[in-house]
Amino acid sequence: MEGASFGAGRAGGAFDPLDFLKQPQTLLRITSWLFSIVVFGSIVNEGYVNRDNTTPELHCIYNENEGACSYGISIGIIAFFTCVFFLIVDLHFQQISSVKDRKRAVLLDLGVSGILSFLWFVAFCFLANQWQRTLSSKGVWQGADAARAAIAFSFFSILTWVGLTVKALQRYRLGTDMSLFATDQFAADPDTGYPGYPTGSGIESTETYQSPPFTETLDANPKGYQVPAY
């Protein structure tokens, strides 16, 4: 992007909601936000089942491992609020005038997206492993679809957060176009002379750097010329 600083234009520029929604990173954030809802929503609603109809006690559907359900819910909620936070940052990113603040925001996005990519990978492996070890029962059959959905969308979340990590890395490498910060300190007229020493600088000069003017004065009796006698 020409004249851009970390993927955004000059601070204070006009904001176009349609262009914002069309940006790849915005689409990835919204998609990641929806995936996180599916994961923790599936586990909260149908991830706890009883072994049979005779016992009211509920257990985690993933091999009765409470850690699996807790981890899935936790990572889903964390990803949910992280997406909301960075969507707000993206909305106001162009209004950030400081280059250092923009750089910090991009680095934070890069770091958090990379960490969440790894955490989602752990969630997918953990839930899939525990699901393979789960013994079949009536309660498990009832919540099987939700359990599989949580595993599937954990995998999809890896892809979206890796995509966000790549986009943040691209924005960081894009850096800053320093033309955004050009000033009008220098005169536009190329014929304008350089300013002299300021008053009180300790350097005094009575000479000026000007060429002597051309004159039309000619020597009345140039050397070696004699006026002829009549």
List domains and CATH numbers for the chain: 17-178 (1.20.140)
> Do residues 43 and 69 make contact, with C-beta atoms less than 8 angstroms apart?
yes
Q: Of residues 193 and 174, which shows the higher confidence score? A: 174
Q: What is the pLDDT of residues 52-62, one digit of tens each?
A: 666 778 899 99
Residue 44, judged by CB atoms within 10 A of its CB (0-12, 13-18, 19+), counts as middle
Q: How many other CB atoms are found less than 10 A from the CB of residue 50?
A: 15
pLDDT reading at 187 higher than 50: no
Q: What is the pLDDT of residues 86-116, one digit of tens each?
A: 999 998 887 877 888 888 999 999 999 999 9
Beta bridge partners of 59: 49
DSSP code for 176: B
**Residues in Cβ contact with 70 at an 8 Å cutoff, skipping those fewer than 6 apart:** none
Q: Residue 135: its pLDDT value, please?
A: 87
What's at 87, amino acid-wise?
L
**In the predicted model, what is the mean pLDDT of residues 176-184?**
47
Q: Residue 142: its pLDDT value, please?
A: 86
> Do residues 73 and 44 make contact, with C-beta atoms less than 8 angstroms apart?
yes
Q: Integer distance in angstroms from the first to the last C-alpha of the chain?
A: 88
Residue 137, judged by CB atoms within 10 A of its CB (0-12, 13-18, 19+), counts as middle
Least confident range from 110-114, 117-121, 132-136, 208-212: namely: 208-212
How far does Cα 132 stand from its chain's mean position?
Answer: 38
Q: Residue 139: its pLDDT value, please?
A: 78
Maximum alpha-carbon separation in the chain: 151
Q: Of residues 84 and 188, which shows the higher confidence score? A: 84
Q: What are the start-end ranges of the E strands in the chain?
A: 48-49, 59-60
Q: Is 218 helix (H, G, I), strand (E, B) or coil?
A: coil
Beta bridge partners of 60: 48
Mean pLDDT (the chain) is 79
CA distance 79 to 84: 9
**Residues in Cβ contact with 199 at an 8 Å cutoff, skipping those fewer than 6 apart:** none
Q: Residue 92: its pLDDT value, please?
A: 85
